Chain A
Amino acid sequence: MNYLWENIFRRPKKEDDIQSALAANMLFQDLSKSELKLVEDIVHVRRYHAGESVFRQGEIGVGMYIVVKGKVEIFVHDFASPFEEAREIFVTQLVEGDFFGELALVEENSRRTATAVCRDDSVLIGFFVPDLDEIIKRNPSAGIKILRRLAEVLGRRLKETTDKVTDLRRALRELREPPQAESKSS
């Protein structure tokens, strides 16, 4: 969301990018200014070349990334059989403000379920388990606000996945039993 006054009170470009990216992120939207400053001091800003991977499927994941600048593409390598070359399936493209990999924040020894590759030269904010732990240790109320939002995000993702599974099951059933057979039996 862009407001007119944002242009009047604009801070230096680099700092502003990180601060506004954090403030606009769903995970940190409940935080006060001082709490956001604490998060800003803790998170890691990483720079990537176009074509460089952020992480690869199967790697141990420690946390999530927020796209500040550039584009990130998500792929899944589908191993149909161990002897075949993996098929690369494009999942989605993420742009400024989007975030990914948040499951690794709550899962112990989490493995990345997809590969993330930067399409352009990109700047990402990395927010990892040790960072979340540090926030909980130093400012538990900020930690709770983040965790509640994280739970909401994961809940939403679960709901989306459940909806997709339901759709797929329905499609599968329709393939096995064509609709006319259903109407006959009813």
Chain B
Amino acid sequence: MNDSRLQALLRRELILKLGVIVVLLATALTVLLTVNNLLVSFVLAFVTNYLLSPIVDFLERRGLSRRSAILIPFVATGVLICLAAYSVVPLIARQASALEAKLPKYQNDLLNLIAASEQHLQKLFQIRMTDFSETIHDWIISQTATLSTQIPSLVSGSLTVLILTPLLALFMLQEGRTVSRKFLEMVPNSLFETTLKLHYQLNEQMGGFIRARFIEAAIVGIVVWLGLQIIGIPFATLLALFAAITNLIPYIGPFIGAVPALFIVLFSDDPAIAESLNWNLFWVTTIYFIAQLIDIVFIIPLVVARLVNLHPATVIILIIIGAQVMGILGMVISIPVAIAIKLIFKAFYEHILESPR
């Protein structure tokens, strides 16, 4: 085959193969984004896959077959989650319903506090801010109403996620490698090594990132739970769970996580808490601060070491974009998505620019 014919053939193959890959990826992405609850289930399955894969590898190293090495930790995690649900969920549900009962009181207290501060500010600066408390009042009322109307769909959504997530996670653990190999088989020869290296880097970085964030969230949750239990703040389990989840959002998360605890202390009708309000506020702040300190001193160095360097300003912008596009889920996944995009760009930039003379 002469050179120009070969080049034309290779170019045609490259375009065709890349076209097929782009169409497949776009279809997968569209399905993920449009089918209800699929994206959440997929993200959770993805996280489960990365959390369990070191255990699977460990068991396989001990001589177990791949299938048994997957099934043992998978079943064990399922049992653990069921046990945790059996013992913790009633407690969380009790705390949630107690909190729900107290919500109107907290809502009122918050509105009173805003109204009082508004009056104080008006006196201080001699300006009129009549609309301010009304706007906030309307917003809080509308938010509470939305929450109550959303509960049925939230419950059915959670059930779908609860069924889909383990199925997807099992599929990822069992067939993930085969699917990636099939995908890599489609990659044109000229891009193969670059794509393979990129795939490997993405896998390593995502795995490290997800495992580190999970450990971080667990440690923050445990520290907050212990601290709140010791000083006797109500809804400790619920607040710890909230702190652990919000901690997944970089920079802003820890602050969001601490807000409910401070409000609960501030508006508590429990005489024991109300009596020494300032001390309680101080201790709650200290607990969240200690949790963050442990996070920053011991955990962040591990995370940062695994992270592609992203500037704090970039991180904040990414979180805002994530929040705008996909809400809380967007805030949590914006950083790993950005890491993936950065790695992909870097790999292909290197491939194009640093190709031989």
Contact A51 B192 (CB under 8 A): no
Q: A60, B354: Cβ atoms under 8 Å?
A: yes
Query: In the complex, which residues of chain B have a beta carbon less than 8 angstroms from the beta carbon of A128?
Result: 193, 196-197
User: Does A129 contact B200, Cβ atoms closer than 8 Å?
Assistant: yes
Contact of A86 among B6, B193, B357 (CB under 8 A): B357
Pairwise interchain contact B193-A62, C-beta atoms closer than 8 A: yes
**Chain B positions 22-76 with a Cβ under 8 Å from a chain A Cβ:** 57, 60-61
Contact indicator A49/B193 (Cβ below 8 Å): no
How many angstroms between the C-alpha atoms of A48 and B9 in the bound complex?
12
- Report the interface size for chain B: residues with CB under 8 A from the other chain: 25
Question: Of the 9-residue stretches B127-135, B181-189, B255-263, which lies at the interface with chain A?
Answer: B181-189
A129-159 vs B, CB cutoff 8 Å, 1 = contact: the mask equals 1100100011110000000000000000000
- Identify which of A48, A55, A61, A140 gathers the most chain B CB atoms within 10 Å of its CB: A55
Given A44-B184, A51-B6, also A58-B355 (CB < 8 A): yes
CA distance A86 to B3 in the complex (A): 19
Closest beta carbon of chain A to B325's beta carbon, Å: 32
Contact A139–B350 (Cβ < 8 Å): no
- The smallest beta-carbon distance between B354 and chain A, in angstroms, is 7
Neighbouring A residues of B60 by C-beta, 8 Å: 138-139
Q: Is the CB of A130 within 8 A of B200?
A: yes
Q: Mark A51-94, 1 if CB is under 8 A from B, else 0.
A: 11011111111110000000000000101000000100000000
In this assembly, does A24 line the interface, its C-beta being within 8 Å of a C-beta of chain B? no
Chain A residues contacting B356 (CB-CB under 8 Å) are 56-59, 77, 112
Q: Are A60 and B350 neighbours in the complex by a CB distance under 8 Å?
A: yes
Q: In the docked arrangement, what's the CA distance between A138 and B197, Å?
A: 19
Note all chain B residues with C-beta closer than 8 A to A126.
Answer: 192
CB-CB under 8 A from B177, the residues of chain A are 41
For chain B residues 197-228, which have a beta carbon within 8 Å of chain A? 197, 199-200
Task: Select one of A44, A59, A140 contacting B185, CB under 8 A.
Answer: A44
- Check: B230 CB closer than 8 A to any chain A CB: no
Taking CB atoms, residues of chain B closer than 8 Å to A130 are: 196-197, 199-200
B155 interface residue per 8 A CB criterion: no
Question: 0/1 per residue, A100-130, Cβ < 8 Å to B?
Answer: 0000000000001000000000000010111
Q: Report if B297 contacts A (CB, 8 A).
A: no
User: In the complex, what residues of A have CB within 8 A of residue B9's CB?
Assistant: 49
The docked-state distance in angstroms from the alpha carbon of A83 to that of B304 is 44
Q: Tell me, yes or no, whether B163 is within 8 Å of chain A by CB.
A: no
A168 located at the interface, meaning its Cβ lies under 8 Å from any Cβ of chain B in the complex:
no
- Contact in complex: B181, A44 (CB < 8 Å): yes
Query: Could you say which of A44, A45, A59 contacts B355, with CB atoms under 8 Å apart?
Result: A59
In the complex, residue of chain A having the shortest beta-carbon distance to the beta carbon of B5: A51
Cross-chain contact B350 with A137 (CB below 8 angstroms): no
Query: Known contacts A56-B355, A60-B354, A128-B196; is A137 also within 8 Å of B189 by CB?
Result: no
For the complex, what is the distance from the CA of A95 to the CA of B45, rounded to whole Å? Answer: 45
Closest to A46 in B: B189
Q: Are A137 and B193 in contact (CB under 8 A)?
A: no
CB–CB B189/A48 < 8 A: yes
Could you tell me the distance in whole angstroms from the C-beta of A27 to the nearest C-beta in chain B?
Answer: 18
Q: 10 closest pairs, A vs B, by CB?
A: A58-B356, A130-B200, A51-B6, A62-B193, A56-B356, A138-B60, A62-B197, A137-B57, A57-B356, A59-B356
13 contacting pairs across A/B (C-beta < 8 A): A44-B185, A45-B185, A46-B192, A49-B10, A50-B1, A55-B193, A58-B355, A60-B194, A60-B350, A86-B357, A126-B192, A129-B197, A138-B57
Report A's interface with B, CB cutoff 8 A: 41, 44-46, 48-52, 54-63, 77, 79, 86, 112, 126, 128-130, 133, 137-140
14 more A-B residue pairs beyond the given contacts A41-B177, A56-B355, A138-B57, with a C-beta to C-beta distance below 8 A: A44-B192, A44-B196, A51-B3, A52-B6, A52-B189, A59-B193, A60-B350, A128-B193, A128-B196, A129-B200, A130-B196, A130-B200, A137-B57, A137-B61
